[in-house]
């Protein structure tokens, strides 16, 4: 279960069979029951090409008991340690005929509780009443993301494409990206992808009429300076 060397070298790792069919069905059922009457919620984004829920673990907290099963907790502990907590989560539902695609980028911002002047925190934005900021690189380098796949994800329904080892070079412009080491990250239903925020990643349009639902969860173990707090901070372990 230890994929630490691969995550450090490539910037990502894929592990299948983290969830049983029943666990995935429970998570999907909780999401569907919670969202059927809530489409006007400010954390929801709905279009023909994408349905997304920001602050997912706060909007549908009852999913956490199924998401953080014994397998996932062991994976996190063995690869990263026991002191990590949730800092952000988003649910993505890419419908069967989606033309949604995302160009290559790094995940450079974190969600915080307020806007304040802090050294080396820059590029402040506000999205749906949520402050976001780009922290110093060392914070981003120490964080990680887990993507939980509720459907089989392939190159034909928008699986992530990544540039291996691009996380090791810090923050840089996409214009300077070299595409030779591209990997398409196909993941089975019930599998996960672990990745570093600075890894360049993208996704294509759906071409095979197959739905793609993913829960994206970001983690950190760091204290922020000068009164800044992680606005979505949630401890998931006992």
Structure tokens at 55: 């602050």
Q: What is the pLDDT of residues 138-192, one digit of tens each?
A: 999 999 999 999 999 999 998 999 999 999 999 999 988 988 899 999 999 999 9
Is it the case that residue 42 has pLDDT exceeding 60? Answer: no
CATH architecture of 4-220: Sandwich (2.60)
Alpha-carbon distance of 129 to 87, in angstroms, equals 16
Give whole-number Cα distances, 125 to 52, 121, 216, 223, in Å: 19, 12, 20, 21
Instruction: Report pLDDT for 37.
Output: 63
Tokens 């600075």: give the residue: 198
CB atoms within 10 A of CB 200: 25
- pLDDT for 100 equals 78
pLDDT in tens, 91-132: 998 888 777 789 999 999 999 999 999 999 999 999 878 899
Q: What are 51-91's pLDDT values in tens digits? A: 889 999 999 999 999 999 999 999 999 999 999 999 999 99
Domain segments of the chain: what residues?
4-220
- Residue 227 and residue 173 in contact, taking contact as beta carbons nearer than 8 Å: no
Q: Kindly indicate the confidence band of residue 1, based on its pLDDT and cuts at 50, 70 and 90.
A: low
Instruction: Give the percent of the chain with pLDDT over 70.
Output: 93
Q: Please provide the DSSP assignment of 46-73 as one string.
A: E-SS-EEEETHHHHSGGGHHHHT-HHHH
The answer, yes or no, to whether residue 41 has pLDDT greater than 80, is no
Cα R_g (the chain), whole angstroms: 17
The model scores a pTM over 0.85: yes
Token reading at 127: 């999205």
């Amino acid at each position: 279960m230890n994929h630490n060397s691969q995550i450090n070298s490539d910037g990502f790792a894929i592990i299948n069979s983290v969830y049983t069919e029943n666990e995935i069905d429970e998570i999907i059922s909780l999401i569907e029951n919670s969202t059927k009457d809530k489409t006007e919620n400010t954390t929801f984004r709905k279009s023909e090409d994408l349905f997304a829920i920001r602050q997912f673990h706060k909007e549908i907290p009852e999913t956490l008991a199924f998401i953080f099963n014994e397998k996932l907790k062991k994976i996190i502990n063995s690869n990263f340690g026991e002191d990590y907590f949730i800092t952000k989560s988003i649910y993505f539902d890419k419908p069967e005929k989606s033309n949604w695609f995302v160009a290559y980028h790094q995940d450079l911002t974190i969600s915080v509780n307020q806007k304040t002047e802090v050294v080396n925190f820059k590029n402040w934005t506000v999205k749906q009443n949520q402050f976001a900021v780009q922290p110093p690189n060392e914070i981003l380098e120490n964080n990680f993301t887990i993507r939980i796949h509720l459907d089989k994800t392939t190159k034909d329904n928008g699986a992530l494409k990544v540039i291996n080892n691009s996380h090791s070079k810090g923050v840089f412009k996409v214009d300077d990206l070299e595409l030779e080491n591209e990997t398409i990250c196909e993941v089975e239903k019930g599998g996960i992808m672990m990745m570093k925020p600075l890894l360049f990643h993208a996704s294509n349009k759906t071409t095979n009429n197959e739905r793609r639902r993913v829960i994206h969860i970001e983690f950190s173990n760091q204290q922020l300076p000068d009164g800044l707090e992680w606005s979505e901070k949630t401890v998931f372990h006992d």
